[in-house]
Amino acid sequence: MNFVATSADVSAEAVFGEGTKIWHLAQVREDAVLGKNCIVGRGAYVGSGVKIGDNTKIQNYALVYEPAVLGKGVFIGPAVVLTNDTYPRSISPDGSLKSTQDWTPVGVTIEDGASIGARAVCIAPITIGRWATVAAGAVVAKDVPAFALMVGVPARRVGWVGKAGFPLKEEQGFWVCPETGAKYIENLNILKEAEDNA
């Protein structure tokens, strides 16, 4: 069963799946598509045409500007910003106010299972790989590989994380999750799940 708070501003042209909850003062614009069991927190903004996969959480006051695409099981922390303008200006060189026809929006793509920490900023156009973690307060300006742990301004990779979100530890040629025991293999700065996890 869906829930939309009475103070939320949800376009009649937005589509959302079964079990999705949209909380107080959130705004979901026209043509946004949210999957099943999503949560849009208090005061969050979801732009026109944004695509959001099942089981994704967008925490309070996060700003997800179009044309962002979020996979399944993505976590967007409080006050995260996904930008959409490479060269932002309020006015044109002649001093006139810019309109939507004066620039082309670019999006942030966040793949399945990735997490973006509180107050992080993701500067479009970038892709954040599946199951990656961006630490709170980081500023991400380049693509992020799957399973990467990114921190800082500008964000840099300081390690790897597994599907459980815990930093991985290197053991006998594998990267191992201390929580689940799942193993991963690194090759040329790319991390993949080991075949013996099955």
For the residues of 95-137, what is the DSSP string, one character each? SPBP-GGGS----EEE-TT-EE-TT-EE-SSEEE-TT-EE-TT
Whole-number pLDDT of residue 197: 60
Residue 98 inside a domain? The answer is no
Rounded to whole angstroms, the Cα distance separating 90 from 53 reads 32
Task: Say which residues have a Cβ less than 8 Å from residue 118's Cβ, sequence separation at least 6.
Answer: 59, 77, 78, 79, 80, 136, 137
Is residue 47 within 8 A of residue 28, CB to CB? The reply is no
Q: Are residues 146 and 168 in the same domain?
A: no
Q: Would the pTM of this model clear 0.85, i.e. be above it?
A: yes
Domain with residue 141: its CATH number is: 2.160.10.10
Rounded to whole angstroms, the Cα distance separating 138 from 156 reads 9
Residue 40 inside a domain? The answer is yes
Q: What is the pLDDT of residues 31-67, one digit of tens each?
A: 999 999 999 999 999 999 999 999 999 999 999 999 9
Task: Say which residues have a Cβ less than 8 Å from residue 136's Cβ, sequence separation at least 6.
Answer: 77, 117, 118, 119, 120
Q: Are residues 194 and 141 in the same domain?
A: no
Q: Are residues 25 and 38 in the same domain?
A: yes
Task: Say which residues have a Cβ less than 8 Å from residue 74's Cβ, sequence separation at least 6.
Answer: 52, 53, 56, 57, 110, 111, 112, 113, 114, 115, 116
Whole-number pLDDT of residue 15: 97
Is residue 108 within 8 A of residue 68, CB to CB? The reply is yes
Is residue 105 within 8 A of residue 87, CB to CB? The reply is no
Residue carrying the six token digits 């201390």: 178
Q: Which residues of the chain have pLDDT under 50?
A: none
Domain carrying residue 42: 3-89+105-161
Residue 59 inside a domain? The answer is yes
Whole-number pLDDT of residue 196: 66
The amino acid at residue 64 is V
Number of domains in the chain: 2
